[in-house]
């Protein structure tokens, strides 16, 4: 009897959970260890903020955007290199320099899109393009008017940083989540199964519900939605907060949600953003050449009905 009781007690392992607020959103880390890594997580978050937050005036990226000269750190370098690679592979659909045009459009309240003079767009677009930015050793070179914003990849990168820290501490089972971007390793020891994560239901009423749940097996997943931030023009066309990086104008889209599974969360994060602008057909064509990415699309068909598309073996719920 004692042996049976002992086995029962040993099987009721619990994850350590650390959660809080960072990067203007929430985070949660579940992991199989009794060690409290709150201080280490906070320190890593501070490093990433100081490197890439455009909201901190003396961060590296803020200083670079003011054309100050400085040597970038390893965080900035890793994200910059990944951004360059994905920018090239997506023919510019992913572009961290487009933010200045997005801000200029100022999608106004009351369902209207603010008018923007074409001359203003042209003047801004001359500074858009990650191909205009160069790294010489560890020093960044860019046009003075070019503004870099890693918002569409930085959360995913932070997920990877926390995950790699846990790897360095020999933690074999964990789930790291920041603002909906995820990376999982091993098992949820409390359930004795792979980590279960959800894909949100596209809803225009601001409510949140799960569309489907999947098992994440030693992978990362990022989801990008167009249904939370959108405006409708006079003709009834819905425009997401997506600016065509080639023209500087808003893009109409029927894609509502894009979930991408990859080995690294920053990769999944960047592609989820790029695919919003590419559309269903281009995403399908792209994924035919990139089997390393698994994708789940939720979109509206011509009858305004929801359809889904699983590509490259995206796991079923």
Q: Who wins on pLDDT, 256 or 202?
A: 256
Give me the domain span that covers residue 306: 16-311
- Give the global pTM: 0.89
Residue 317 is assigned to a structural domain of this protein? no
Angle at 37 between CA 33 and CA 43, to 5 degrees: 155
Q: How far is the C-alpha of 287 from the C-alpha of 2, rounded, in Å?
A: 56
pLDDT confidence of residue 109: 45
Q: Does the residue 101 lie in any domain? A: yes
- Examine residue 4 and state whether it is found in any structural domain, yes or no: no
The CATH number covering residue 47 comes to 3.10.520.10
Q: Average the pLDDT over 282-303 and give the result.
A: 94
7 falls within a domain:
no
Q: Is the residue at 9 inside a domain?
A: no
Domain-located, residue 1: no
Residue 234 is predicted with a pLDDT of 60
The number of domains in the chain is 1
Residue 36 included in any domain: yes
Q: How far apart are CA 22 and CA 257, in angstroms?
A: 23
CA atoms within 13 A on the CB side of 77: 10
**SS3 per-residue string spanning 27-38:** EEEEECCCCCCH
Residue 256 lies in a domain: yes
- 6-61: pLDDT as tens digits: 444 445 789 999 999 999 999 999 999 999 999 999 999 999 999 999 999 999 99
Most confident of 19-28, 207-216, 269-278: 19-28
Sign of the CA dihedral with 55 first, then 59, 61, and 65 last: positive
């Amino acid at each position: 009897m004692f042996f049976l009781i002992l086995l029962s007690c040993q099987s009721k392992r619990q994850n350590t959970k650390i959660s809080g607020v960072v990067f203007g959103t929430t985070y949660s880390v579940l992991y199989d260890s009794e060690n409290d890594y709150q201080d280490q997580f906070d320190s890593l978050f501070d490093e990433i903020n100081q490197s890439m937050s455009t909201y901190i005036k003396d961060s590296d990226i803020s200083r670079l955007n003011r054309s100050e000269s400085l040597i970038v750190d390893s965080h900035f370098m890793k994200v910059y290199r990944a951004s360059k690679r994905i920018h090239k592979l997506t023919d510019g659909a992913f572009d961290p320099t487009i933010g200045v045009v997005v801000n200029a459009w100022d999608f106004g309240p009351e369902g209207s899109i603010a008018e923007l003079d074409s001359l203003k767009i042209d003047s801004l677009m001359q500074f858009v393009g990650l191909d205009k930015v160069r790294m010489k050793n560890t020093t960044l070179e860019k046009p003075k008017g070019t503004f870099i914003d890693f918002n569409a990849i930085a959360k995913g990168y932070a997920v990877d940083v926390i995950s790699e820290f846990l790897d360095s501490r020999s933690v074999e089972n964990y789930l790291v989540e920041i603002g909906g971007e995820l990376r999982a390793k091993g098992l949820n020891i409390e359930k004795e199964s792979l980590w279960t994560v959800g894909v949100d239901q596209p809803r225009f009423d601001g409510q949140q519900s799960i569309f489907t749940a999947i098992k994440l097996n030693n992978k990362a997943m990022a989801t990008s939605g167009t249904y939370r931030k959108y405006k409708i023009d006079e003709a009834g066309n819905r425009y997401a907060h997506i600016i065509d990086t080639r023209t500087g104008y808003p893009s109409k889209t029927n894609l509502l949600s894009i979930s991408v599974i990859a080995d690294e969360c920053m990769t999944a994060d960047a592609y989820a953003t790029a695919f919003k602008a590419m559309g269903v057909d281009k995403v399908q064509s792209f994924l035919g050449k990139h089997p390393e990415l698994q994708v789940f699309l939720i979109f509206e068909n011509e009858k305004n009905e929801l359809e889904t598309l699983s590509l490259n073996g995206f796991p079923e719920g």
